[in-house]
Chains A and B, each alone.
Chain A
């Protein structure tokens, strides 16, 4: 394969039914450079990468040029043949197989002993894989079964696989989302090494710090359009954020600090199987408490362990009932709370069921008769209709199947579902993830409204702007531990980062 000197994309567009995921995006990339691609959720980053990786086809009119020649990337195989390797966000390995088999899995036939032989040349395979692993500076045993590796090591396998396939253009899609800090540092070393060797590297990330420390230039996408293309040395974070968000949505921040009311929930020393480790906090009535931390910091795990979705290894929970704050078991606590999870499709919705059934699922017992448990479907319909109106779900009626709704409306259905239960405390993990800006503002207003009426919220968000405008108080989680607490008056990016920075300094020592 000849050396790739340049990759150009010209006027790439991609439409899905009802959505224009990308419109008219052009840029180019060169060897020895790391090109960052940033944008908020739904900006079109993944669509872009899927087009390069051959998983999606661009609309008519777009062109992809390698070394100045137009190429068609019809499927992942074609991408591989062109030297494009896609290292996807989800770890893609075969757990029960060995390391060397995993790296070379794409083309076992190539590793037969001879052209007409049926036998795999395992020695040669191991040698080849060792070569790539050495080049990446890793000491993974080529004979180890993959399930015994850490996530970081598995990711390394994917990179080794990309190299063994002759990849010259490497696409990294959120590679750090499930890595620990040490693993991230190692990954960066490797990427820098690859950059020095003359690979073309694309790096998608939510984390601006990573972009600034790793990339040479950056491309910004917003709503499927390119809104920025700059050398990293020419811009700063504020400018970058401006390109990502466009005009800021205003008018949401709640003015004034609320008077501290009584404590409704107190968590002490919550620990999970791996994360979190020993987290304690208090929640006041009507308060909106933010939990902020990087992905993989143990934020979602905190909720899961505390609410009994995953196993809680240690800790106590106190809840105010009948005016007294008393210790309560997870099972007894659950009827008083709501939990909006991060994975809308994973554990949020019943996709093939109606909006009505989804909304009433949080408290189905309410619609059942005492004796036989017969459901009152009329009451279900009335209540879900009124909630749909309250949170502004756009649908023909309450019998519509949820999978036919847009992402934003699906999210609103989940919110309606928890509003139906009307719990004292609502835990929300990324309540506005993948939701368009208009719906986002609506959801935030709904949260304010409910908190005025005395509902307490604990909210996880990875978007700083959102969490700062929503919350009254923010606790900062890092590597499963509580590292800081910031009250409304002191909200700033710096104050939130301080906790994390101090931890990182400890690491450096």
Chain B
């Protein structure tokens, strides 16, 4: 009986997305054309992928605020390697992604090994990473020119001019979903996020899982960085600014819990990111002032977070939970 309820809830994201599309299709100007939808998704691919990445961290209960900066650093690294050292594009991308994985590992060193407050550490890391990346670019825009323009411009005519890049986006989403849903790693991730203490007691190496989750998060954000420089064709210094907040909001919007243990890549986080993207593009399509968009978006995020907290509270309120909570700390001391 309860399972059915959840199905409707996870459906709700499709419904919200559909409503948004319909509202803007009616109110907007040529909003619901294939071209404009492709453009929104394609330009939003960094956000979608960062949302996927941050989901891995959120699932183990770590609020990682450095995700935007990781994407930025990866993009800068790949861009510079291409631009200054003339490195092959694929290799440069690999280096960018590797950098993302590495930063994820550094994060895990502080958060898992030294048990420091995850949010503050990643907030600090966000500043450090951005600062270092800007030192490397000397705070100037790096244009990539020919290196990526072919990739950016490639279209599939058969699908109404769908950008080739979207295949990459879809591939990333599929791989992330697969890892989370079908591998032992994914299941362990959920278990650790759900209750770290229990997971440790039944023999899961929680530290290792959390480290792996943060490294995966870093790697995926690295991929996002690559998408970012390709879609833009250049590396700008303010790139991916405040994406960490948008990505976390998108993930929560998609039903991922900030306390860990609940959430999904697809449909969850991906739909959450799409909702945010279409709200922004729809509003600008309708001619809403670009200054008002963050305000409206902020209010929508606020409401979404409230609904999420209601959902979590009602779901996890099992009748005996208070009794257990009471006996637990008393039992801890011998």
Given A119-B182, A178-B324; A46-B331 close (CB under 8 Å): yes
Given A80-B203, A97-B194; A434-B330 close (CB under 8 Å): yes
In the complex the two chains form, is A92's CB within 8 Å of B201's CB?
yes
In the complex the two chains form, is B6's CB within 8 Å of A145's CB?
yes
Contacts of A178 in B (CB 8 A): 320, 323-324
| Bound CA–CA A177/B331 (angstroms) | 13
Given A109-B184, A346-B326; A148-B198 close (CB under 8 Å): no
In the complex the two chains form, is A147's CB within 8 Å of B329's CB?
no
In the complex the two chains form, is A120's CB within 8 Å of B182's CB?
yes
Cβ of B289 < 8 Å from any Cβ of A? no
Question: Which chain B residues (159-186) contact chain A, with CB distance < 8 Å?
Answer: 182-186
Contacts of B316 in A (CB 8 A): 95, 147
Contacts of A50 in B (CB 8 A): 334
Contacts of B261 in A (CB 8 A): 94-97
* A interface footprint on B127-155 (CB within 8 Å = 1, 0 otherwise): 00000000000000000000000000000
Chain A residue nearest to B200 in the complex (CB): A76
Report the minimal beta-carbon distance from B265 to chain A, rounded to whole angstroms: 15
Contacts of A119 in B (CB 8 A): 182-183
Given A96-B190, A107-B203; A345-B322 close (CB under 8 Å): no
Cβ of B319 < 8 Å from any Cβ of A? yes
In the complex the two chains form, is B2's CB within 8 Å of A77's CB?
no
Contacts of B210 in A (CB 8 A): none
Given A95-B316, A96-B190, A151-B320; A343-B6 close (CB under 8 Å): no
* A interface footprint on B187-199 (CB within 8 Å = 1, 0 otherwise): 1101100110011
Report the minimal beta-carbon distance from A85 to chain B, rounded to whole angstroms: 10
- Select which of A94, A145, A274, A296 is within 8 A of B3 by beta carbon: A145
Chain B residue nearest to A429 in the complex (CB): B326
In the complex the two chains form, is B183's CB within 8 Å of A345's CB?
no
Cβ of B315 < 8 Å from any Cβ of A? yes
| Bound CA–CA A120/B189 (angstroms) | 14
Cβ of B157 < 8 Å from any Cβ of A? no
Chain A residue nearest to B319 in the complex (CB): A274
In the complex the two chains form, is A106's CB within 8 Å of B183's CB?
no
Count of chain A residues near B, Cβ 8 A: 54
Given A16-B334, A145-B3; A161-B183 close (CB under 8 Å): no
Contacts of A151 in B (CB 8 A): 318-320
| Bound CA–CA A19/B334 (angstroms) | 9
Contacts of B310 in A (CB 8 A): none
Contacts of A310 in B (CB 8 A): 322
Contacts of A207 in B (CB 8 A): none
Contacts of B185 in A (CB 8 A): 108
| Bound CA–CA A331/B326 (angstroms) | 23
Cβ of B158 < 8 Å from any Cβ of A? no
In the complex the two chains form, is A92's CB within 8 Å of B202's CB?
yes
In the complex the two chains form, is A343's CB within 8 Å of B327's CB?
yes
Contacts of B183 in A (CB 8 A): 118-120
Contacts of B324 in A (CB 8 A): 90-91, 178
In the complex the two chains form, is B331's CB within 8 Å of A89's CB?
yes
Contacts of A145 in B (CB 8 A): 2-3, 6
Contacts of B90 in A (CB 8 A): none
Cβ of B84 < 8 Å from any Cβ of A? no
Given A76-B203, A109-B184, A151-B319; A96-B262 close (CB under 8 Å): yes
In the complex the two chains form, is A108's CB within 8 Å of B334's CB?
no
In the complex the two chains form, is B201's CB within 8 Å of A76's CB?
yes
Q: How extensive is the interface on chain B, given as a class?
A: 35 or more
* B interface footprint on A185-228 (CB within 8 Å = 1, 0 otherwise): 00000000000000000000000000000000000000000000
Cβ of A111 < 8 Å from any Cβ of B? yes
Report the minimal beta-carbon distance from A189 to chain B, rounded to whole angstroms: 21
Report the minimal beta-carbon distance from A375 to chain B, rounded to whole angstroms: 29
Report the minimal beta-carbon distance from B263 to chain A, rounded to whole angstroms: 9
In the complex the two chains form, is B331's CB within 8 Å of A343's CB?
no
* B interface footprint on A338-376 (CB within 8 Å = 1, 0 otherwise): 000011111100000000000000000000000000000
| Bound CA–CA A179/B198 (angstroms) | 20
| Bound CA–CA A94/B201 (angstroms) | 12
In the complex the two chains form, is B204's CB within 8 Å of A90's CB?
no
Contacts of B182 in A (CB 8 A): 118-120
Cβ of B8 < 8 Å from any Cβ of A? no
Query: By CB atoms of chain A within 10 A, which of B194, B319, B328 has the most?
Result: B194
Report the minimal beta-carbon distance from A357 to chain B, rounded to whole angstroms: 20
* B interface footprint on A295-316 (CB within 8 Å = 1, 0 otherwise): 0100010000000001000000
Question: Which chain A residues (276-292) contact chain B, with CB distance < 8 Å?
Answer: none
Cβ of A337 < 8 Å from any Cβ of B? no
Cβ of A112 < 8 Å from any Cβ of B? yes
Cβ of B333 < 8 Å from any Cβ of A? yes
Cβ of A407 < 8 Å from any Cβ of B? yes
| Bound CA–CA A466/B202 (angstroms) | 38
- Select which of A16, A177, A347 is within 8 A of B327 by beta carbon: A177
| Bound CA–CA A379/B141 (angstroms) | 66
In the complex the two chains form, is A105's CB within 8 Å of B323's CB?
no
* B interface footprint on A144-188 (CB within 8 Å = 1, 0 otherwise): 110110010000000001000000000000000110000000000
- Select which of A77, A96, A112, A273 is within 8 A of B194 by beta carbon: A96
Given A89-B327, A94-B195, A147-B315; A112-B320 close (CB under 8 Å): no
Contacts of A274 in B (CB 8 A): 319
Report the minimal beta-carbon distance from A276 to chain B, rounded to whole angstroms: 13
Report the minimal beta-carbon distance from A49 to chain B, rounded to whole angstroms: 11
Report the minimal beta-carbon distance from A23 to chain B, rounded to whole angstroms: 14
Q: Closest 10 CB pairs between A and B? A: A108-B184, A94-B194, A148-B2, A345-B329, A343-B326, A96-B262, A92-B198, A106-B202, A151-B320, A106-B203
Instruction: Supply 7 A–B pairs (Cβ within 8 Å), ascending by A.
Output: A76-B201, A88-B201, A92-B202, A94-B261, A96-B261, A108-B187, A151-B320
Q: Which positions in B face A, CB cutoff 8 Å? A: 1-3, 6, 182-188, 190-191, 194-195, 198-199, 201-204, 257, 261-262, 315-316, 318-320, 322-334
Q: Which positions in A face B, CB cutoff 8 Å? A: 16, 19, 21, 46-47, 50, 55, 76-77, 80, 88-97, 101, 105-109, 111-112, 118-120, 143-145, 147-148, 151, 161, 177-178, 273-274, 296, 300, 310, 342-347, 407, 433-434
Instruction: With A118-B183, A147-B315, A300-B326 given, name 12 new contacts (CB 8 A).
Output: A16-B334, A88-B201, A92-B198, A93-B198, A95-B195, A97-B191, A105-B188, A105-B191, A108-B185, A108-B187, A144-B3, A178-B324
